[in-house]
Amino acid sequence: MIQPTLTATKKPQPSHYQEPKPLKIQVIKRNGTKAGLDIGKIRAVVEWATRGLSLNPITLEAGLTTRLRDGVTTREIQENLIRCALEMCSPSEPDWRYVAGRLHIWSLWKDTLVKRGYLYDDYQKTVTNKVATGEYDERILSYSPAELTEAGSWIKADWDTDYDYAGAVLLTSRYLLDNELPQEALLSACLLLALPETPETRLYWAKQFYQAIASRQISLATPILANLRTSTGSLTSCFITAMDDNLESIFNEVTNTARISKSGGGVGVNCSRIRATGSWVMGKKNASGGVIPWIKILNDTAIAVNQGGRRAGAVTVSIDIWHLDVPEFLEMQTENGDQRRKAYDVFPQLVITDEFMRRVVNAQDWTLVDPYEVKTQFGIELATLWGAEFEHWYQKIENSLGEKITLYKRINARELFKLIMRAQVETGLPYLAFKDTINRANPNQHEGYIPAVNLCTESFSNVIPGDKAHCCNLLSLNLANLEISEIPHLCRLGVRILDNTIEISEPPFAAAKNHNQHYRTIGVGCMGLADWLAKRQLSYRHLEEINILFEEIGYWCTQASLELAQARGAYPGFPGSQWSLGNLIGAKPVSWYLDNAQHKQRWVQLSQDIQQFGIRNSHITAIAPNTSSSLVQGCTASVLPAYSRFFYDKWAKGTVPIAPPFVNDYYWYYQENKALDQQQIVKAIAAIQQWIDTGISMELIFNLNQGVYYPDQPDKALKAKDIFDTLILAWQEGCKAIYYIRTVQKDDFKDSSDQCTSCAN
């Protein structure tokens, strides 16, 4: 065993004393052979792993020496080094997580070298072998051997060493195939993404895609990166379907939910048209069991069709806030009551109108009704209405209570909102979707309406039961790794990648395929806003700078879709759309841009060009939560602040250190979301939303500890009224949806006002 260097003088020994012989440690290599321990090799690996970081490699080497033994494997040595590095990671020295990440990649390299005999030396051979074994989609062989060899020359092995430990582990465990290296996975995906290009230009575009993705300026959504190379599973991230009020439609959408889950997608199912509990069935009153039994079937489908054994299906189920079953809907995940009417494995979502929110603010009564009776008595499908048309018919319905409408319930709107808040503080759910805000911004109002939001609340468009199911492909720009001057190029790449994805993907059922081709919905998103702000010594209070950034992103993504329309044609639903009328992001007229944009005239020109040439994609931008993919990208998630400047996350193999990428240099400029006034977040998201044509995953975190938001009043804690005010503000400021509600600590959460009540988390 290696002994540490001693600075003290050795004590004199008796004349018969003999120095002990150094232990001969035999190491078992990855190929099974044995060799003597070579400390020089370990030292070289440690020096390589710490290169360029302000860390002392000797401390890592010293930590390892106590763990060596005869018969130790080189893999164990590597894992011991990784554990040592993770143990030394701290708020003062967070970069040890990068050392652990590099060591993890080193181990992957060595394993791959042993198994196949080479690393990045022969990409063309790797592709040929993986197509032969059925691991790669054979379409990649559309490229000639010479082209594959040229593509292999683009690879930079050093890009593998940019990941911290969390990112390296997620990348290798979630995305890589057996005997596949990170750059091979990224490059192969990019070659396939470039297939819709012309034969003369596809290699050019593949290189552009690869360089942006490998350098972590663009992040592909999980379905694209995980499924594209293998030709199994969908490339689409999210779907939304809607059920009509008949058995055929209900079970058709249950089947579609199963198909989506099988292919690894997340799905939203709107159930607002389904008749309520106590409604009529075949002319018999009180025969209907309402919405909950059908949600129960969706719940069990999500469990049964478990994404190829990887995890249970992910389904959000939505109903409109006027539906008679809303109170039971809010109770369907509680422990009390009839277990046959519970659904613990879906994600409930409420679709909320402006009229309801106004009545919440004014503490007025609200009426819950049965959609079947409304349809029978008034000849309208209430679920399809929004805005002034909804308010017109809803007033007529309320004027007919006890006459035409016999199945209803009156409840104070604020009291109902209290029930929603209580469920959110207890469980984080339901999601809230602001229906009128969403549909006012819908560019395709001429062809229908948006019933609800997707599983992560950022992506949505028109849905027609049995005909068109919302279908969207996503990627994200990594703001941590780009400058504003790079935005035009990266936006063009992002839009092009996703439009190409539509061409090469095969949605799992017909209604999704119809939607994909008719609306060509994509979602270019962002992550790493907290890093972008910290590098510039800004905060979430700097709304002007945030506005400028997202105006650039919104403009250049829209411009990119225009340019594709000039080359490839507009999406089929373009005639009659808000785009065709000259309205731009969020269906806003040009006059809005003249009042609010930094660069006004370019928006005027953009409007004119789109009216002349069309636009390729009906929806272009959407900001997903990308919690896991941001770890792979080495940045903060989405556009939200970092939860903490440094913390440990619990994983299956232990705790993993998590920290923002620039925390060493900009520590105090990282605002911690766990202690940040969430009204700041709401205002920042609202500012961003002006330039994003679909939605933003806005998770809110409320800290229930005393003194967190009131440093001068250590005994003062957040009240239920504060959360109430924040949710109301989100609606008033034009946010389209609220994702999870998170709370920090399990303190008593008492209401000291008449606004609402809540309970302990």
Cα radius of gyration (the chain):
29
C-alpha–C-alpha distance, residues 320 and 292, integer Å: 14
Residue 324 lies in a domain: yes
Helices (H), 669-759: 678-689, 720-732
- Asked if 627 and 665 sit in the same domain, the reply is no
Q: What is the pLDDT of residues 129-144, one digit of tens each?
A: 999 999 999 999 999 9
Burial class (CB in 10 A: 0-12, 13-18, 19+), 11: exposed
Instruction: Flag whether pLDDT at 17 surpasses 80.
Output: no
Tell me if residue 456 is catalytic. Answer: yes
Give me the amino acid identity at 349. Q
Which residue is associated with the tokens 């998590």? Answer: 658
Which is it for strands 470-478 and 238-242: parallel, antiparallel or unpaired? antiparallel
Q: What is the pLDDT of residues 434-468, one digit of tens each?
A: 999 999 999 999 999 999 999 999 999 999 999 99
Q: With bands split at pLDDT 50, 70 and 90, how would you rate the model's confidence at 310?
A: low
Instruction: Flag whether pLDDT at 21 surpasses 70.
Output: no
pLDDT of residue 389: 98
Residue 750 lies in a domain: no
Q: Which residues contact 7 (CB under 8 A, 6 or more apart)?
A: none
- Asked if 85 and 174 sit in the same domain, the reply is no
Q: With bands split at pLDDT 50, 70 and 90, how would you rate the model's confidence at 19?
A: low
**Which residue among the candidates 458, 551, 552, 699 is catalytic per the annotation?**
458
C-alpha–C-alpha distance, residues 583 and 593, integer Å: 10
Q: Which residues contact 571 (CB under 8 A, 6 or more apart)?
A: 518, 519, 520, 565, 614, 615, 616, 617, 618
Q: What is the pLDDT of residues 513-539, one digit of tens each?
A: 999 999 999 999 999 999 999 999 999
Q: Which residues contact 18 (CB under 8 A, 6 or more apart)?
A: none
Instruction: Flag whether pLDDT at 150 surpasses 80.
Output: yes
Q: With bands split at pLDDT 50, 70 and 90, how would you rate the model's confidence at 4?
A: very low
Global pTM reads: 0.93
Residue 4 lies in a domain: no
Tokens, residue 518:
């008719």
What whole-number percentage of the chain has pLDDT above 90? 84
* Contact present, 701 and 743 (Cβ < 8 Å): yes
- Asked if 309 and 438 sit in the same domain, the reply is yes
- Asked if 415 and 398 sit in the same domain, the reply is yes
* Contact present, 736 and 437 (Cβ < 8 Å): yes
Which residue is associated with the tokens 């034969």? Answer: 199
Q: What is the pLDDT of residues 563-593, one digit of tens each?
A: 999 999 999 999 999 999 999 999 999 999 9
- Asked if 270 and 418 sit in the same domain, the reply is yes
* Residue 277 CA: distances (Å) to CA of 28, 219, 291, 341, 419: 68, 45, 7, 12, 20
The last residue of a domain, from among 636, 669, 688: 636
Which residue is associated with the tokens 């950022």? Answer: 458
C-alpha–C-alpha distance, residues 440 and 431, integer Å: 20
Reduced to 3 states (helix: H, G, I; strand: E, B; else coil), residue 496 is helix
C-alpha–C-alpha distance, residues 394 and 629, integer Å: 43
Average pLDDT over residues 83-106: 95
Average pLDDT over residues 630-641: 97
Closest CA to 557 of 524, 582, 588: 524
Which residue is associated with the tokens 């004014």? Answer: 362
**Which residue among the candidates 439, 454, 478, 516 is catalytic per the annotation?**
454
**Which residue among the candidates 89, 238, 456, 735 is catalytic per the annotation?**
456
Residue 21 lies in a domain: no
Q: What is the pLDDT of residues 736-747, one digit of tens each?
A: 999 999 999 754
Which is it for strands 26-28 and 365-369: parallel, antiparallel or unpaired? unpaired
* Contact present, 4 and 62 (Cβ < 8 Å): yes
pLDDT of residue 735: 98
Number of domains in the chain: 5
- Asked if 382 and 249 sit in the same domain, the reply is yes
pLDDT of residue 69: 82
* Contact present, 671 and 532 (Cβ < 8 Å): no
Question: Count of CB atoms within 10 A of residue 584's CB?
Answer: 25
- Asked if 402 and 495 sit in the same domain, the reply is no
Residue 452 lies in a domain: no
Residue 2 lies in a domain: no
- Asked if 543 and 436 sit in the same domain, the reply is no
pLDDT of residue 562: 98
The last residue of a domain, from among 613, 636, 659: 636
Which is it for strands 408-412 and 266-270: parallel, antiparallel or unpaired? unpaired
- Apex CA 538: angle with CA 533 and CA 542, to 5°? 105
Beta strand spans in 634-712 (E) = 647-651, 654-658, 700-703
Which is it for strands 26-28 and 34-36: parallel, antiparallel or unpaired? antiparallel
Which is it for strands 654-658 and 647-651: parallel, antiparallel or unpaired? antiparallel
C-alpha–C-alpha distance, residues 565 and 158, integer Å: 37
- Asked if 582 and 659 sit in the same domain, the reply is no
Q: Which helix (H) or strand (E) holds 487?
A: helix 487-504
- Asked if 511 and 577 sit in the same domain, the reply is yes
Which residue is associated with the tokens 């700041």? Answer: 680
Q: At what angle do helices 247-262 and 292-304 cross, to 10 degrees?
A: 30
Q: What is the pLDDT of residues 534-561, one digit of tens each?
A: 999 999 999 999 999 999 999 999 999 9
* Residue 545 CA: distances (Å) to CA of 185, 345, 529, 533: 36, 40, 11, 9
* Contact present, 547 and 600 (Cβ < 8 Å): no
Instruction: Flag whether pLDDT at 48 surpasses 50.
Output: yes
Tokens, residue 96:
């040890």
CATH number at residue 471: 3.20.70.20
Instruction: Flag whether pLDDT at 284 surpasses 90.
Output: yes
- Asked if 506 and 562 sit in the same domain, the reply is yes
DSSP state of 453: -
The residue range of the domain holding 39 is 26-112
C-alpha–C-alpha distance, residues 635 and 216, integer Å: 10
Tokens, residue 737:
């949806």
pLDDT of residue 308: 59
DSSP state of 432: E
Residue 752 lies in a domain: no
Tell me if residue 454 is catalytic. Answer: yes
* Contact present, 235 and 473 (Cβ < 8 Å): yes
Q: Pick the range with the lowest mean pLDDT from 152-161, 171-180, 522-531, 644-653.
A: 644-653
The last residue of a domain, from among 52, 78, 112: 112
Which residue is associated with the tokens 């000797």? Answer: 58
- Asked if 631 and 641 sit in the same domain, the reply is no
pLDDT of residue 9: 40
Question: Count of CB atoms within 10 A of residue 718's CB?
Answer: 23
Total residues found in the chain within this entry: 761
DSSP annotation string for 47-79: HHHHTTSS--HHHHHHHHGGG--TTEEHHHHHH
Reduced to 3 states (helix: H, G, I; strand: E, B; else coil), residue 654 is strand
* Residue 723 CA: distances (Å) to CA of 541, 643, 749: 19, 18, 11
Q: Pick the range with the lowest mean pLDDT from 107-121, 177-191, 651-665.
A: 651-665
SS3 string, 78-113, reads HHHHHHHHHHHCCCCCCCHHHHHHHHHHHHHHHHHH
Q: Which residues contact 538 (CB under 8 A, 6 or more apart)?
A: 545, 669
What whole-number percentage of the chain has pLDDT above 70? 94
Residue 5 lies in a domain: no
SS3 string, 142-170, reads HCCHHHHHHHHCCCCHHHHHHCCHHHHHH
Reduced to 3 states (helix: H, G, I; strand: E, B; else coil), residue 12 is coil
